[in-house]
Amino acid sequence: MNVAVTDRQPDTAAQSNLGFVDCDVHPFVKSPADFDPFLSQRWRDLRASIGARSRTTFAGAPNYPRMSPGVGQRMDSWPEGGGMPGSDLKMMREQLLDKFGVAYGMMMPLVGSGLGERNVEFGAAMCTAANDWQAQVWCDAEPRLKASVQVNTEYVEAAVKEIEKRAGDRRFAQVMIPPRGLEPLGRRRYWPILEACAANGFPIALHLGGASGHPSTGGGWPSFYHEEHPSYPQSKEALVTSLVIEGVFEHIPNLKVALVEGGFAWLPSLTWRLDKQYKRLRNEVPHLKKLPSEYIRDHIWVTTQPIEEPEQPEDLLTTMEWIGWDRIMFSTDYPHWDQDDPRYAIKVPIPAAEKQMLFRDNAMSFYGLT
């Protein structure tokens, strides 16, 4: 993970000749003041005085300390001229975009604090600023990078307005919502946001994280990052369950969702469990007209990182087959410590047609890119 892999040959037929689409790239600010040009005086003052207020314990550190400096950055991704990993476009080109011949990189900014801000007006303003910052600082300088519309889901009106404002701007490819909000995303009160996404042609990317204030397990707060990190798939399972069982896809039949940074091997088992228990408890959810597995097949896409590494590597392909090759999109998570290198991440050969789908075609079609 922080160690260079030298014990095997890269997959030489990797991505450079495919026009690889990376579904999870993290740009960062050079300084928090980078957002100031996009904020009104009121919010600049608030940011500089009280600052961001989420639902975590520490002023400037996550609840679970990471394993490398900078809240879990790749060790070799610190720009020589200073600043955080992900803040330097030249380095991002060298380490990711040019190196792997990336056709498009989907930006998922984990900076700006707007998504989980408790003061929702401030949160909405920070989301707008982060959106302007992505478009003007990154997309305009590097058209291969696509922006994600950030919204604060606890301020529904502002979120809908922000989505409508960005509709038609081709720099924005999707709407970004953190899964761990105050309530499961399928709950009725979030539907106007989900409707706005579909109505304006945006898929939704649900990148792990959020600051719900709820423990990362149903049994309370774990002690270790060693438990927090594997809890990410559990967020995704709850998210799929909520969206399907609440009837979101029955209500919004053209909504498309990508689950980012949760892996995917948990999905077949969840699908079987949902179908089985649905048959027992369907009277509770008469708004569902199809099996949960059918909604999942029609509406849910997964990204790969952090890709599961089965004890028998070929079991990964079996799992991918069960999910459906057309529903899986490759992602690196650059520049985080646990990012997946497209040359090494998948440890068994993938047939050419499936590789083309995984690294490029699925994402091109999901995002409507050309």
Q: Interface residues with other proteins (CB under 8 A)?
A: 1, 67, 179-187, 212, 214-227, 229-231, 233-235, 237-239, 241-242, 245-246, 263, 265-266, 268-270, 272-274, 276-278, 280-281, 283-285, 306, 308-312, 315, 318-319, 322, 337-338
**Least distance to other proteins, CB of residue 307, Å:** 8
Closest approach of other proteins to the CB of residue 252, in Å: 17
CA 237 to chain centre: 14
Nearer residue to other proteins within complex by CB, 171 or 225: 225
For the bound state, the minimum distance from the C-beta of residue 176 to other proteins, rounded and expressed in Å, comes to 16
From the CB of 24, what's the least distance to other proteins, in Å? 17
**Closer CB to other proteins, 140 or 321, in the complex:** 321
User: Taking CA 282 as the corner, what is the angle to CA 276 and CA 285, rounded to the nearest 5 degrees?
Assistant: 125
Report the residue number, 272 or 344, with the smaller CB distance to other proteins.
272
Q: Which is nearer to other proteins, 109 or 233 (CB)?
A: 233
Minimum distance, C-beta of residue 23 to other proteins, in the bound complex (Å): 19
The residue among 144 and 336 lying less far from other proteins, judged by its C-beta, is 336
Least distance in angstroms from the C-beta of 216 to other proteins: 5
Q: Least separation, in Å, of the C-beta of 187 and other proteins?
A: 6
Which residue number, 157 or 227, has a Cβ lying nearer to other proteins? 227
Q: Among residues 8 and 370, whose Cβ is nearest to other proteins?
A: 8
| For other proteins, the closer CB: 27 or 335 | 335
Minimal distance, residue 180 CB to other proteins, in Å: 6
Least CB distance to other proteins at residue 218 (A): 4
Q: Which residue lies nearer to other proteins by CB, 10 or 215?
A: 215
For 258, residues 6+ apart whose C-beta sits below 8 A from its C-beta are 23, 174, 203, 204, 205, 206, 301, 302, 303, 329, 366
Q: How many angstroms separate the CA atoms of 236 and 257, rounded?
A: 11
